[in-house]
Structure 1
Amino acid sequence: MALEQATFGAGCFWCTEAVFQNLKGVSACTSGYMGGEVINPTYDEVCGGDTGHAEVIQVDFDPEVITYDELLLVFFKTHSPTTLNRQGNDVGTQYRSVIFYHSQEQKKSAENMIDQLTKQNVFDKPIVTEITPVSEFYKAEDYHQNFFSTNPNKAYCVFVIQPKLDKFSKDFQDKLK
């Protein structure tokens, strides 16, 4: 089994991680930062919005179990790819919708997916998701890893992540672990 990697920024990495961890074929999901200028940024620095980094998840997946295109569909359907530098109450470039591609094939797949979703009028506004080459990945602090699993009763988890997971579970039931 040769694993591949995908890196997505879809707003808060706690939400994105909770979704992707539940997919068959995903063996690891790591929260972190990518796309900025600061080396080894901290959460506070990234949240300040001055590092250029986005909150991202790096996904290790088995393409024989789940394809990159299927991951892209989950990515697009579980956040708002039409709001520039914003996801819900989270505002700033660190919450931008972004795909960091690891190969030219991933880039082409991302471009094709955006074209398909646009032609199908899936969203009522234009998709503003960035498609950018992968850069240095900085793993977020340990307390951010598996955040929902270890903090299910925190208010953010109850009122933001759990409803997102409930919707995701209905829409992608056949892809769940």
Structure 2
Amino acid sequence: MLMALNKPFGVLCQFTTHDGRPTLADFVRQKDVYPAGRLDHDSEGLLLLTDDGGLAHRLTDPRHKQPKTYLVQVDGALSDEAVQALRRGVALNDGPTLPAQAERAGEPAWLWPRDPPVRFRKSIPTSWLTITLREGRNRQVRRMTAAVGFPTLRLIRVRIGDHALDGLMPGQTRTLLP
């Protein structure tokens, strides 16, 4: 089985917690499925869950280089130089990243409001971009945008390989393979 979840902001990518924070168990009723990969509690969007260990491995192992696409809102007016740097790859404290596909984007009409909302500052604009990675380091997109001078405010994964959100609203699931 393979299912898609649009993980809401603030939800932990695990099924249990001892501190009362929301977890996947609050949204996924299917038993015996586990996340194939992770999204940080402050990230949103597509999370794949499966009961097939081999499939989970193919989806998450860096050797398979599954492309993962994110919609990212950053602090500031995104420069051409920053986009080019993301495309070339960025030097992080754990080594250089692979080149990424990065493009400016507008705020999409389909985007749901975030709770709590992203901070708004009248004097500092925000920008949107899409970025596709073929590696999966811890908090990589956030670290990359910060390294080029534009900290991430909102991060939404919209695609993993051939699987996309395709209209799933936060907290909703869809079975992809029975």
Q: Which has the larger radius of gyration?
A: 2
Query: Which protein is richer in strand relative to its size?
Result: 2
Asked if TM exceeds 0.5, the reply is no
TM-score normalised by structure 2 residue count: 0.32
TM-score normalised by structure 1 residue count: 0.32
Query: Which protein is richer in helix relative to its size?
Result: 1
